[in-house]
Amino acid sequence: MLVLSRQRDESIMIGDNIVVTIVDIRGDKVRLGINAPSEIPVHRQEVYEAIQRENLRASRLEPGDTQDIGKFANRGASRPGGDKPR
C-alpha cells in the first residue's frame, strides 16, 4: 500500500483521471472528496465487499430455489422481463 500524508484541502491523483481530496478532518474522522469518471464506481470498501459477497451468493440460485416466491407477492403489479416465458 502506498502511504502518503496529506493535510486538509490537499489532494492525491490516481492515474490521470481520479482525484481524492481531503475535504475535512475532525477528530478521528476524515471526509474525502472523490473526483472520478462516472463509469468508475466509488464505494466504502466494506459496503462494496458485502455487495460482492451477496451477488456471488445470489448468482448460485436456481429456478427451483425461487419457485415459491410468488406467495410473497402482491397481485397486479408489473413483472421484470416482459412476457416471454423461458
Partner 1 sequence: MRITTTRFGCIDVEASDLIRFPSGMPGLEDCREWALLADASNDALGWLQSTTRGDIALAVVSPRRFVPEYQVRIPRSELSPLALADMRQAQVVVVVGQTGTGLTLNLKAPIVINLEARTGRQVVASGDLPLQYELSHERPSLKKSA
DSSP annotation of 19 reads: E
Longest dimension (CA), the chain: 58
Nearest approach, Cβ of residue 55 and partner 1 (Å): 4
Residues 6+ apart with CB under 8 A from 24: 8, 30, 31
Query: What is the Cα–Cα distance from 65 to 58, expressed in whole angstroms?
Result: 11
Which CB sits closer to partner 1, 3 or 61? 61
Which CB sits closer to partner 1, 27 or 80? 80
Which CB sits closer to partner 1, 15 or 41? 41
Nearest approach, Cβ of residue 33 and partner 1 (Å): 12
Nearest approach, Cβ of residue 6 and partner 1 (Å): 23
